[in-house]
A and B are shown apart, each in its own frame.
Chain A
């Protein structure tokens, strides 16, 4: 039997395991070779991932297995989803490793840090490439455990220990959901092989309660992985860890929920209730996360709340059946957020710049931007639909771009000469709208065949989507007229509750945890 080329992708995680082993042998991280090795592992993975992407685009999805027992074993699934996420993780991993080399310079355990990063990357890569349920579940759990070690890189920090403990409980609950779902699917499909199981679900071969139960469990596992309401609280707390870990977590690991939803789209689509549940959880989290994010005064907390909201939107999209859009979101958000964390040291300059900037438009002129943005959106809508034809419910999400353009134009409009930035602003807005449609169309074409078509929208879909879009518009309004709204009594009280995240973490954890005083030993003291 010829060696299937798709199996070559496993060299990526293997290379990272090797790099981790080399890094572990030099705990201080002073030697050059382990760093070069991890760089080489990143480059190799990226090349393999791009090759796999080309293969998947040209020849369609591929499966290959090395060892198999009832479909379980060492097998890979190479399609646009896994290849693009493999490429993403390789790229983010390479950047984060390069960053860590200088960033942790002087830390006596820098080499161990790199080793743990490499192991985490290998686990995530295996997760996205896995071709069967057993390997996927093992990699899912391994990712979380490897990350746990990184979160406790400074074990003397009480806040980090507490946050990692909370995350541990949430993650293990998610693992239980995932294992339950996989057990049901493997039992129904009489195989652990991904393709076999998904095909059986698609063909409707499995009857009974197993598939619906599996779908709901998958939704819960995805929500717990991606820090969805109300199990989101660990994410803002976990920034008590070196910046590169946050970058990797927010760009490569937190989106595991989205990956799971897209990977098992066939299962979810077969169970409308699961889709509605996913959409509802995502919608609530997106609105909630956005509002709380507005009140955050520290850069990393505001990035973390932004991630919660963005993950909510991504899962909402999955719940609507817009899987290509969710994949596009997942990829772009990873780049955006990784950069956000790694560049978080610029926040001092950014605040100074914002303070120095001239005031934007006030009074009635302020309405000009949003009105023009909506006008532009309506004018471009036919063209966007021609580029990217979509069912109404998914098309309605395009309104978000109009809202974004509205805020852009409102902030860029000078108070005195309102027309000064108008042309450039409108060109940028038009470009963003068309780019949105075009990228969505490309993602749709690339994923065609590997994810099911979006199901028809039911009244429940609209009942979720309608209020969500209204809430989004309201949040935009809050940002446009802060001083008018803030003066109101109700809004002032709302500010206090939102700044506290509506106390969800207190209700959830206070009774669970014994708030016994823990001595705090500063990281630098403990190791002197």
Chain B
């Protein structure tokens, strides 16, 4: 108890200077990848904060902070070698690409020798005071702290699941926690006497707490960033959620302190554990502290991770060879055919579009398809009719600079007001019904008076008789306001140049966004368009089509050298990736002169949908019989379906090239296809844009799937059958534990095999290597991704030298 009464005396030690401490906190917080809420879930690179480190070094750091693995278990690679999937040539190639040094095995034989040794990074996790307390006290202090922290975080960040919300939600996290913790008796009931009194002695402010804790824990300054990162890793998805909040602030130009506050809360637990823990714990901690300084110094440990990476690289090389052969077979990108295509259809770069594009090209001869980020260059905050707040329909890298409002088409002010009132009344009616159904005591009465209607609902849902509308779709009788006239021309120019569509416009140009339809699926938004911020993309596609059909915009474009023929009409559509139905929006706006073109297109789209479904059925384990296809369609309405579709699982490559380079290839829905014509981009501005945005986003998606399949426990969200939606922002597994990040196990595996085999992204750019190097010189972040091994960079230079790889030391070499 003395420790509680006399904290200052007990903690007497040299205090780290405030700037050192702040820098350490900031550094640790930057290491955490943001986690988007499930209402608009987008894929994020879980190693986002580690890309400044080379891959193997990052892997070692992840092992130290999370006890997680960044490459598959060695036996997975050993099996691939035994099956002949990875050849000795692949291993030699991977070895050659690794920077020489004492850590690199000398030859393939030595590499294989190392690979035969077991390597289990899960035992590398560094200690914390709480983890030591668990050992010293022989009682699960860590579990108690985790449960308490998880419960508090869920209450603090609750978006409206609890009917009685935490009274301290308005405070900053640390202050809110302190208020709660000094009233909570559970730690004392479970063997931590004096807990509440000890909480009351803690400083009221997060910075002061961090300083006090750092002094008491007496960790050398050099070890602080790693220690803080280790603590944040124990908070699971809540750290990611706080980082997401900071991320939103940073997009707006502010700096957030949400995650630093959360770190203060976790540090407070360390401090309390130390103060209440007694001499043996203090001694154990004193003995363990050095490990934070020594991290990464042992060459044998380092080599284990280098060896892991080489094996992983060989596994990827083995996959890249057939791709290179395919790309070489199509030869040099041919020049564009002179004929005017009947239709051009632009799809999102999403890998699911590849299958549909191939099908559409088959069902409508002469049709051209293009790939571009599915928000079609319209970074908007979209405010649905009757809502106060908008949703960001743009990539996660941007804060939407524009706001558009949804409203009924061609309506007067009076009509709008009436409809708004009607909609508000209706949503309140639903709220009243919900209150009757769920609220305490009211639900007693509901059960006894109207509860029996749930027998009918069970019957309807259980036998798939109810129709569920996909969430968040725009209605065709609504439209959004347009951006201000002066901005439209800018948006249109960037869009057309960005997708290398500046000439040879077809009579009809379809812009197809995409979205998925599933029911009872917490991860529904994860199947929607990531470029539209985890929403379905029709709003952006419709906006882009209207901007491009605007006569003033066309005039301005012509002045800038992009002449769109007067008879070219842009239409917008939505590709439902679960059912492969493609719906065309705003058909009334298509002039009568183009009615036949539209009819032909819609017929071809229906046929393409059928072809796509047949191809997808096989991957879902269904046959292409009418029964199998019915089962595929039924998935979108099945409340018990953990895999409505495979999403982006299997994604492995990104190709920015004219469609001619890939048109004859079956890429099996594994490749992000971005349209890019080098000849139209002499200054390399479009290339820079592609490499710094869509390619990075593709790498995020790829690494999200990669991490969820390599170590689902650390980077994925576990078993979907146990998922329990918490705080309206995410899921936990079962009754407790922290928020989970990443993708469910069911999204990357069919139960017997991984459907997403973990491979880092192979990026192929149809551009001269000099142009690519110029971009790398300007974009340090992209260079880091390439040189630290987070993605593989290839060039397909015009002139037909074949596929070139950017190898070790930045040397370009022919790859075959």
A15 CB to closest chain B CB, in angstroms? 19
Residue B163, interface by CB 8 Å: yes
CB-CB < 8 A to A491: which residues of B? 167
How far apart sit A104 and B143, CA to CA, in the bound complex (Å)? Answer: 29
CB-based contact A499/B151 at 8 Å = yes
CB-based contact B154/A357 at 8 Å = no
CB-based contact B721/A339 at 8 Å = no
How far apart sit A352 and B430, CA to CA, in the bound complex (Å)? Answer: 13
Specify which of A350, A420, A428, A525 is in contact with B425 (CB 8 Å cutoff): A420
CB-based contact B520/A346 at 8 Å = yes
Specify which of A360, A413, A500 is in contact with B186 (CB 8 Å cutoff): A500
- In the complex, the chain A residue whose C-beta lies closest to that of B152 is A499
CB-based contact B454/A106 at 8 Å = no
CB-based contact A105/B642 at 8 Å = yes
CB-CB < 8 A to A297: which residues of B? 151, 154-155, 158, 161-162, 726-727
CB-based contact B746/A106 at 8 Å = yes
Residue B447, interface by CB 8 Å: yes
CB-CB < 8 A to B459: which residues of A? 95
Residue A160, interface by CB 8 Å: yes
Residue A417, interface by CB 8 Å: yes
Interface centre among A159, A302, A407, A417 (most CB of B within 10 A): A407
Mark contacts of B130-171 with chain A using CB atoms, 8 A cut-off: 1 yes-contact digit, 0 otherwise: 000011001110111000000100110011111111111000
CB-CB < 8 A to A353: which residues of B? 427, 430
Residue A300, interface by CB 8 Å: yes
CB-CB < 8 A to A354: which residues of B? 160, 431, 434
CB-based contact A352/B728 at 8 Å = yes
Residue B668, interface by CB 8 Å: no
Name the segment of B367-375, B436-444, B484-492 touching the other chain. Answer: B436-444
Interface size on A (CB < 8 Å)? 130
- In the complex, the chain B residue whose C-beta lies closest to that of A297 is B154
- Please judge, given known A-B contacts A107-B751, A411-B428, A435-B449, whether A524 and B442 are in contact too, CB under 8 Å: no
CB-CB < 8 A to B258: which residues of A? none
CB-CB < 8 A to B443: which residues of A? 306, 310, 404
Name the segment of B17-25, B237-245, B711-719, B775-783 touching the other chain. Answer: B711-719
Specify which of B160, B165, B446, B525 is in contact with A404 (CB 8 Å cutoff): B446
- In the complex, the chain A residue whose C-beta lies closest to that of B456 is A335
Residue A444, interface by CB 8 Å: no
CB-based contact B140/A302 at 8 Å = no
- In the complex, the chain A residue whose C-beta lies closest to that of B728 is A351
Within 8 A of A (CB), among B638-666: 638-643
CB-based contact B432/A351 at 8 Å = no
Residue A190, interface by CB 8 Å: no
Mark contacts of A317-347 with chain B using CB atoms, 8 A cut-off: 1 yes-contact digit, 0 otherwise: 0000000010011011101101100111111
Specify which of A159, A343, A404, A482 is in contact with B445 (CB 8 Å cutoff): A404
Residue B626, interface by CB 8 Å: no
How far apart sit A413 and B162, CA to CA, in the bound complex (Å)? Answer: 21
CB-based contact B638/A237 at 8 Å = no
Residue A421, interface by CB 8 Å: yes
- Please judge, given known A-B contacts A405-B445, A420-B425, whether A347 and B522 are in contact too, CB under 8 Å: yes
Specify which of B158, B435, B722, B727 is in contact with A411 (CB 8 Å cutoff): B435
Mark contacts of A101-117 with chain B using CB atoms, 8 A cut-off: 1 yes-contact digit, 0 otherwise: 11111111000000000
Within 8 A of A (CB), among B395-451: 421, 424-425, 427-436, 438-451
Specify which of B38, B161, B454, B727 is in contact with A336 (CB 8 Å cutoff): B454
- In the complex, the chain B residue whose C-beta lies closest to that of A425 is B432
Residue B180, interface by CB 8 Å: yes
CB-based contact A358/B185 at 8 Å = no
How far apart sit A116 and B732, CA to CA, in the bound complex (Å)? Answer: 25
Residue B301, interface by CB 8 Å: no
How far apart sit A413 and B428, CA to CA, in the bound complex (Å)? Answer: 7
- In the complex, the chain A residue whose C-beta lies closest to that of B440 is A290
Mark contacts of A501-517 with chain B using CB atoms, 8 A cut-off: 1 yes-contact digit, 0 otherwise: 00100110010001111
CB-CB < 8 A to B189: which residues of A? 503, 506-507, 510
Name the segment of A127-135, A194-202, A238-246 touching the other chain. Answer: A238-246
CB-based contact B640/A103 at 8 Å = yes
B392 CB to closest chain A CB, in angstroms? 14
Residue B752, interface by CB 8 Å: yes
A397 CB to closest chain B CB, in angstroms? 9
Mark contacts of B723-742 with chain A using CB atoms, 8 A cut-off: 1 yes-contact digit, 0 otherwise: 11111100011111100000
- Please judge, given known A-B contacts A98-B640, A332-B452, A355-B159, whether A436 and B462 are in contact too, CB under 8 Å: no
Residue B688, interface by CB 8 Å: no
- In the complex, the chain B residue whose C-beta lies closest to that of A522 is B713
Within 8 A of A (CB), among B496-524: 519-522, 524
How far apart sit A516 and B143, CA to CA, in the bound complex (Å)? Answer: 10
- In the complex, the chain A residue whose C-beta lies closest to that of B754 is A528
- In the complex, the chain B residue whose C-beta lies closest to that of A158 is B143
Residue B249, interface by CB 8 Å: no
Residue A298, interface by CB 8 Å: yes
CB-CB < 8 A to B158: which residues of A? 297
How far apart sit A506 and B432, CA to CA, in the bound complex (Å)? Answer: 36
Residue A236, interface by CB 8 Å: yes
- Please judge, given known A-B contacts A100-B640, A102-B641, whether A407 and B442 are in contact too, CB under 8 Å: yes
Specify which of A95, A160, A243, A358 is in contact with B428 (CB 8 Å cutoff): A358
CB-based contact A411/B461 at 8 Å = no
How far apart sit A421 and B142, CA to CA, in the bound complex (Å)? Answer: 51
- Please judge, given known A-B contacts A106-B752, A332-B454, A339-B458, whether A410 and B435 are in contact too, CB under 8 Å: yes
CB-CB < 8 A to B450: which residues of A? 432, 435
- Please judge, given known A-B contacts A403-B445, A496-B183, whether A294 and B163 are in contact too, CB under 8 Å: yes
- Please judge, given known A-B contacts A298-B724, A523-B722, whether A342 and B461 are in contact too, CB under 8 Å: yes
Specify which of A300, A356, A424, A436 is in contact with B724 (CB 8 Å cutoff): A300
Interface centre among A107, A417, A518 (most CB of B within 10 A): A107
CB-CB < 8 A to A329: which residues of B? 447-448
Residue B587, interface by CB 8 Å: no
CB-CB < 8 A to B135: which residues of A? 517
How far apart sit A102 and B737, CA to CA, in the bound complex (Å)? Answer: 26
CB-based contact A157/B752 at 8 Å = no
How far apart sit A242 and B190, CA to CA, in the bound complex (Å)? Answer: 28
CB-based contact B440/A237 at 8 Å = no
Residue B749, interface by CB 8 Å: yes
CB-CB < 8 A to B167: which residues of A? 486-487, 491-492, 495
CB-based contact A408/B728 at 8 Å = no
Specify which of B163, B387, B521, B719 is in contact with A523 (CB 8 Å cutoff): B719
CB-based contact A102/B436 at 8 Å = no
How far apart sit A294 and B471, CA to CA, in the bound complex (Å)? Answer: 27
How far apart sit A237 and B161, CA to CA, in the bound complex (Å)? Answer: 18
CB-based contact B722/A242 at 8 Å = yes
- Please judge, given known A-B contacts A354-B431, A404-B444, whether A335 and B455 are in contact too, CB under 8 Å: yes
CB-based contact A335/B735 at 8 Å = no
How far apart sit A290 and B439, CA to CA, in the bound complex (Å)? Answer: 9
CB-CB < 8 A to B471: which residues of A? 349, 352
CB-CB < 8 A to B384: which residues of A? 356
Within 8 A of B (CB), among A254-298: 286, 290-291, 293-298
Minimum-distance CB pairs A-B, first 7: A106-B751, A412-B432, A332-B451, A404-B445, A240-B734, A351-B728, A335-B454
List, sorted by A's number, 25 A–B pairs whose CB atoms are closer than 8 Å. A91-B455, A103-B642, A154-B719, A163-B735, A239-B735, A295-B155, A298-B161, A336-B447, A342-B520, A351-B160, A352-B39, A355-B728, A360-B431, A404-B449, A408-B433, A408-B436, A412-B432, A417-B421, A472-B441, A472-B444, A499-B155, A503-B185, A506-B190, A510-B189, A517-B142
Given A297-B726, A335-B451, A407-B442, 8 more contacts at CB 8 Å? A291-B440, A348-B39, A358-B427, A401-B449, A404-B444, A486-B164, A518-B140, A524-B713
A residues near B, CB below 8 A? 91-92, 94-95, 98-108, 154, 157, 159-160, 163, 236-244, 286, 290-291, 293-302, 306, 309-310, 313, 325, 328-329, 331-333, 335-336, 338-339, 342-358, 360, 400-401, 403-414, 417, 420-421, 424-425, 428, 432-433, 435-436, 439-440, 472, 475-476, 478-479, 482, 486-487, 491-493, 495-500, 503, 506-507, 510, 514-518, 522-525
